[in-house]
Structure 1
Amino acid sequence: MNIALKQLRVFITVAQERTITAAAEKLFLSKPAVSMALSELEKHLGHRLFDRNNNRLIINEQGKRLLPLADELLARSDDIELLFDHAGPISGKLKIGSSDTVGNQITPFLLRDFRHHSKHDDQSLFISNTAQICHMLSEFELDIGLVEGKVQQSDLVVQPWLDDEMVVACHPDHPLTKIGNLSLSDLEHSQWILREPGSGTREFFLNRIAPRLEEWQQAFELNTTEAIINCATAGLGITCLSRLAVEHAVKDNRLAILDLPLDTHRQYWLLYHREKYQSPLLKLFLDFCQSWTLN
């Protein structure tokens, strides 16, 4: 059997992009070249790797079995090419995914310190909600994920990372800021400005705050933290966000944090695929993350 690395690279890209056209654009190849490489690989293996649905290619069980091995072979091939590079064993590209709060408030400083520590500066950062980061890790589109949402996914290794504190915040002139000894019952019938489903921030609200309220209304559902802050600043409702995320708005007197009798601690998580090949670079970054603290 003579399987070429090019065929495996085409296979992985098609699995991620789901169409020949998109894969060809990403690989800078013609569509016939991508189709031929994929066809030859399936012929060598004696198995179809995708289910065809109109113009879309959906990876099947045989393809899912191949995906982690193909990813490892390509990563090891890159290691061989870089083996005698002057930059040493930490050469290569690191693809990092972060959920919104972590990606905006923490990961930039983590990368700053990692670059200073390792002298490695070839990283990419993709920011989305926790659910999207998990999906991309499962598809081997990312090497590592740093998220705030709790994850229960059998194909991912989930490790506790940093601690965080959530707060309930509103405009400084909101009626709730005038109440002394505020209790959760005072939040009844409030209008909430929340993140979208799949967000760790929304998950925290639904699991820790919403069950303690008999009635609450969603005023807005938004997919960025800054948009939520601006809506709360405009007096359109109250919100639940990370203290790190609202610090600047509180400092500018655009938001006020409500003092509530509630445990608002939450955990950040470090994720990677259970079958992901751990290159020297990925191992170094994983170790660095576990020893790093935000100053």
Structure 2
Amino acid sequence: MIRSLIRQKNRIKLLQRFNFSSFSDAFTGAMHESRRSDLASGARYSLRQLEAFRAVAALGSAARAAHELGRTPSAISMALRELQSALGVALLQRSGRGLVLTTAGERLLPRADELLLRAGDLAQALGDARLPAVPLSIGASRTIGATLMPELITAFRQRHGVERIRLSIGNTEEVLSRVASFELEVAFVEGEVTDPGLEREVWTRDALVIFVRRAHPLLRTRTSAPRVSPAELIAWPWALREQQSGTREAALRAAASIGRIRIGVEATDNETLKRLVLLDDWIGCLSRRVVAEELARGTLVELEVSSPAVRRALGRDFLMVTDPQRYRGAAVTRFVEFARAWRGRRAAPAPGSG
């Protein structure tokens, strides 16, 4: 037992000042011939330098990386200079007001990310605070982020005691691009995943609702359930989410069978869109999870669509997405397994159900 502990602590010491000569083949093609022998001879650099590099690659500036890591911008800049000097190649370059990866930086990033995640696993196993505390990076599209992520993350943290979790919210395209760039370890989206390099699995089901405010003219002549025809849906302007939103894509697919709808207003978040529909005679379309409270209070009213094709199309999948090229550390492995088990308790009502 004691010998095993000593071996693990020796591994940590090696990681804290690691020789990356084994990674040279990954990016020597981007280096000048005169510098290759320096890298092959065993340039040394630290986890803190790699941590700074990864943060700047994700956030686009030394200032934001410094805020994220609790360091000063000058310390981040120095770490980057030392890392690039050790490798003999530029890893970042300025583009507009930010920093972006060079070809060599793109090649190094997944390997640096893997090493930091492995170091985090060691730190957790030994309780060693000297190694970087790597937060669990999760992404979610706006509907999932607001309705399901708070409960999922809280339940996971209470079960496993994870200290740091970073949740990033955006529309589907934004979140997927951050998974592909290694900024996020796992993401949950409702839109289509077109990148063949990403792995996706159905996480849970969702149902969209077409709704209006209670004072909408469509409801004035109806005393029973507000069942509407395709012609009535086309006649009134719609309030939808922005382009590249998974909810918008699903709404347009559902409406495709009835003809061309008129989009009168777009909003980049669900709360603003609900407010717009509450104040004017728009037709809205959002997840049932998003409008559940307003439907229960009666301030918003669900429209029952007479078209079976539309009703079927209002159902959709929520997807869990990862990048198989990225090393999966212990924390994200536990989170993915936990999310798979948890999803069965969060199934949505079927389209058209109250």
Same fold by TM-score greater than 0.5: yes
Can you give the 5+ residue segments of structure 1 that lack an aligned partner in the other structure?
none
Question: Relative to 1, partners in 2 of residues 1:162 and 1:76: Cα closer, same or farther, differing over 3 Å?
Answer: same
Structure with the larger RCO, 1 or 2 (CA within 8 Å, 6+ apart): 1
Aligned partner of 2:30 in structure 1 is: none
Residues 229-244 of structure 1 aligned to structure 2 (within 5 Å)? 229-244=274-289
Can you give the 5+ residue segments of structure 2 that lack an aligned partner in the other structure?
1-42, 347-354
**Is structure 2 residue 185 aligned with structure 1 residue 143?**
yes
Aligned partner of 2:330 in structure 1 is: 280
Residue 274 of structure 1 aligns with an amino acid whose one-letter code is P
Compare the two structures and name the one with the higher helix fraction. 2
Distance 2:229 2:53 in 1: 56
Secondary structure class of the residue paired with 2:125: coil
Aligned partner of 1:128 in structure 2 is: 170
Question: Relative to 1, partners in 2 of residues 1:120 and 1:3: Cα closer, same or farther, differing over 3 Å?
Answer: closer
Displacement after TM superposition at 1:70 (Å): 0.7
| Identity across the alignment (%) | 30
Question: Relative to 1, partners in 2 of residues 1:12 and 1:155: Cα closer, same or farther, differing over 3 Å?
Answer: farther
Residue range with higher mean Cα deviation, 249-258 or 91-100? 91-100
Secondary structure class of the residue paired with 1:83: helix
Distance 1:232 1:54 in 2: 38
Question: Relative to 1, partners in 2 of residues 1:173 and 1:147: Cα closer, same or farther, differing over 3 Å?
Answer: same
Aligned partner of 2:100 in structure 1 is: 58
Aligned partner of 2:7 in structure 1 is: none
Displacement after TM superposition at 1:123 (Å): 2.5
Distance 2:102 2:196 in 1: 18
* TM-score normalised by the chain length of structure 2: 0.74
Secondary structure class of the residue paired with 1:219: strand
Aligned partner of 1:2 in structure 2 is: 44
Displacement after TM superposition at 1:251 (Å): 0.7
Residue 104 of structure 2 aligns with an amino acid whose one-letter code is Q
Over aligned residue pairs, what C-alpha RMSD do you find?
2.4
Pick aligned residue for 2:201 from 156, 159, 163: 159
**Count of paired positions:** 290
Distance 1:135 1:164 in 2: 23
Distance 1:215 1:268 in 2: 26
Would you say the 8 A contact 2:208–2:251 is kept in 1?
no
Aligned partner of 1:197 in structure 2 is: 243
Structure 1 moving runs of 4+ over 4 Å? 178-181
Residue 216 of structure 1 aligns with an amino acid whose one-letter code is I
Distance 1:5 1:115 in 2: 26
Question: Relative to 1, partners in 2 of residues 1:17 and 1:125: Cα closer, same or farther, differing over 3 Å?
Answer: closer
Displacement after TM superposition at 1:67 (Å): 1.0
Question: Relative to 1, partners in 2 of residues 1:27 and 1:195: Cα closer, same or farther, differing over 3 Å?
Answer: same
Superimposed CA distance per residue, residues 148-207 of structure 1 (whole angstroms, 9 cap, x where no aligned partner): 112112342222110001111111232334467523232113211111122111111223
Residue 194 of structure 1 aligns with an amino acid whose one-letter code is L
Question: Relative to 1, partners in 2 of residues 1:131 and 1:54: Cα closer, same or farther, differing over 3 Å?
Answer: closer
Secondary structure class of the residue paired with 1:82: helix
